[in-house]
Amino acid sequence: MSKKILILPGDGIGHEIVAETVKVLQCLRSEFALNVETEQALVGGAAYDVHATPLPDETLDLAKHADAVLLGAVGGYQWESLDIAVRPEKGLLGLRAGLDLFANLRPAILYPQLADASTLKPEVVSGLDIMIVRELTGGIYFGQPRGVRELENGEREGFNTLVYKESEVDRIVRVAMDIAMKRDKRLCSVDKANVLECTELWREVANRVGESWPDVELSHMYVDNAAMQLVREPKQFDVMVTTNMFGDILSDCAAMLTGSIGMLPSASLDEQGKGMYEPIHGSAPDIAGKNQANPLATILSLAMMLRYTLEEAEMAQRIEDAVNHVLDQGFRTQDICSSGKAVSTSEMGDAVCAAMLESS
Ligand code: IPM
Ligand code: MG
């Protein structure tokens, strides 16, 4: 039976980068006999405009019944003044929570061809290969209570809650340990245990879980230091595991080491390995509709989907090889183009398809 992929372009550049990724998917179907079906639905601002909610029930249902979900990006200027409960970002968070996608894998790999696109010195980033494992359905993003309240003196106070159950820390650290076992067997757990009780418990649980993986070298680092070390000596890291918000911040930081946030894919997985795949960047409303965005992070997210959820490692490899090839050939979208003329979003998608066909 063919597997079903739900495609959610979302907003802004989401449409363009997803269209190129669908092109790559169609190429795999028609030329390499990949057996998948696709369907498409609305999420984010696009869904709000039609259904007055960023996550219609129909979209969540389709996502639950699909084998995997491919998402572009959500958000845009026109929805920024909406109530926070119906803003596009809530659509994304609702999908993560609704599908229980607690494990977010964000690999930061430097393609050697792009060493000069990084703002860091080539020797600092060359060969960089870090995997950030971000907890995705808990922490301050979802903690209750939250809101804005009025104090007795009439002043308003905003509040959010950072909360983690032991079981939530346990399961994300296990995922990170498994990943570390397949890599260099070094895991750094990032917390703020010197100030926050919640992450003091995080560290305790991480140590406990670590006892079952004696082959993995487990270390701990405070998040402020981790941010500094990422730009000082990033190659000291193999796998990092951290909370939802720290992971959000550190993964953007790690992205810039690789030259552009336009290069980084991600996988968000549930307990069974079912998942949603998306670039780690946002909807970039400033360049939306201009055919300028880099589609490679989304195309590489499709490769992750093929590898992690659809068990089509060979198809994933075809995509990854093709991306390598187009970078070798000198194709660059504007975000990774340090000199010369940049190619457009669609030219990049076409180049990846052509590279796949050439190698067959
Ligand atoms: C990300 C994004 C999201 C997040 C936003 C769009 C809600 O920044 O996936 O990193 O904060 O998780
Ligand atoms: Mg982010």
* 127 and 254 in a common domain: yes
265 domain residue, yes or no: no
Look at the block and give the residue holding tokens 């190659």.
235
What pLDDT was estimated at residue 32? 97
Contacts of 85 (CB under 8 A, 6+ apart): none
Write down the pLDDT at residue 116. 85
The band of 191, judged by pLDDT with boundaries at 50, 70 and 90, is very high
The answer to whether the beta carbons of residues 144 and 160 sit under 8 Å apart is: no
Q: For a substitution probing ligand 1, which of 43, 92, 136, 142 has the most ligand atoms within 8 Å of its CB? A: 92
Structure confidence at residue 130 (pLDDT): 97
pLDDT tens by residue, 238-286: 999 999 999 999 999 999 899 889 999 999 999 999 999 999 999 999 9
293 near 17, Cβ under 8 Å? yes
Instruction: Supply angle C-alpha 100, 101, 107, rounded to 5.
Output: 170
Average pLDDT over the chain, rounded to an integer = 96
pLDDT of 1: 77
Count the domains in the chain. 2
State the alpha helices, DSSP H only, in 116-265.
122-125, 166-181, 197-210, 223-232, 244-257
From ligand 1's centre to the CA of 308, what distance in Å?
21
For 352, the 3-state DSSP assignment is helix
Q: Whole domain around residue 3: which residue ranges?
A: 1-102+270-360
Whether the CB of 267 sits within 6 Å of ligand 1: no
pLDDT at residue number 222: 98
Q: Name the amino acid, one letter, at 204.
A: E
Is 100 among the catalytic positions? no
Residue 16: the pLDDT is 98
Question: Residue 123: what pLDDT?
Answer: 92
What residues contact 285, with CB distance under 8 A and at least 6 apart?
11, 12, 75, 76, 77
Reported as a single tens digit per residue, the pLDDT across 137-173 is 999 999 999 999 999 999 999 999 999 999 999 999 9
CA–centroid distance for 288 within its chain? 19
- Among 198, 228, 260, identify where a domain stops: 260
CB atoms within 10 A of CB 71: 26
- Cis? peptide before 265, omega within 30° of 0: no
Residues 65 and 137 in one domain: no
Q: From atom 6 of ligand 1, which residue's Cα is the shortest distance away?
A: 89
Co-location of 119 and 183 in the same domain:
yes
Measured from the CA of 104, which atom of ligand 1 is nearest? 9
Q: Is the pLDDT of residue 340 over 90?
A: no
> Is the sign of the CA dihedral 160, 165, 170, 175 positive or negative?
negative
Is residue 339 over pLDDT 80?
no
Q: Which ligand is nearest to the CA of 243?
A: 1
Asked if residue 181 and residue 168 are part of one domain, the reply reads yes
Examine the domain organization and report whether 142 and 210 are in the same domain.
Answer: yes
Looking at 229, 260, 291, the residue that finishes a domain is: 260
pLDDT tens column, 20-47? 999 999 999 999 999 999 999 999 999 9
Q: How far apart, in whole angstroms, are the C-alpha atoms of residue 303 and residue 108?
A: 15
- Under 8 Å between Cβ of 303 and 311: no
- Kindly give the number of the ligand 1 atom that is closest to the alpha carbon of 96: 12
Q: Is residue 76 part of a domain?
A: yes
Q: Is 210 in the pocket of ligand 1 (CB under 6 A)?
A: no
Same domain, 89 and 115: no
